[in-house]
């Protein structure tokens, strides 16, 4: 890639990714994904990977240690 094609994402706290993918037409890729800017997609993927790693520790698929209170999910409280 010849360099960064955009100077800013226009989003506070989200810097331009200098090498998001080995493709010359990043705008075409963003249009194809229809999920926002590539920087947003990368950030979301990193967050999902972080959550997946935490879930390995939490093991939410295992049974509860103790039963929840009878009206725990009753609305309104």
Question: Which tens digit of pLDDT belongs to each residue from 12-43?
Answer: 888 887 777 777 788 888 898 888 888 899 89
Q: How many CB atoms lie within 10 A of CB 38?
A: 20
Rounded-to-integer distance, Cα 42 and Cα 5, Å? 17
Instruction: List, for residues 42-65, the tens digit of each pLDDT value.
Output: 899 999 999 999 999 999 999 989
Q: Over pLDDT 70: what percentage of the chain?
A: 92
Q: Indicate the domain borders of the chain.
A: 1-59
Phi, psi (degrees; rounded to nearest 5) at 41: -65, -40
Integer CA distances (angstroms), 52 to 39, 41, 49, 59, in order: 20, 16, 5, 10
pTM equals 0.63
Angle subtended at Cα 47 by Cα 18 and Cα 52, rounded to the nearest 5 degrees: 135
pLDDT value of residue 1: 42
């Amino acid at each position: 890639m010849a360099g960064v094609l955009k100077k800013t994402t226009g989003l506070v706290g989200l810097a331009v990714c200098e090498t998001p993918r080995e493709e010359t037409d990043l705008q075409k890729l963003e249009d194809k994904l229809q999920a926002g800017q590539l920087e947003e997609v990368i950030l979301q993927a990193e967050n999902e990977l972080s959550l997946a790693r935490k879930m390995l520790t939490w093991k939410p698929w295992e049974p509860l240690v103790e039963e929840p209170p009878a009206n725990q999910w009753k609305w309104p409280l």
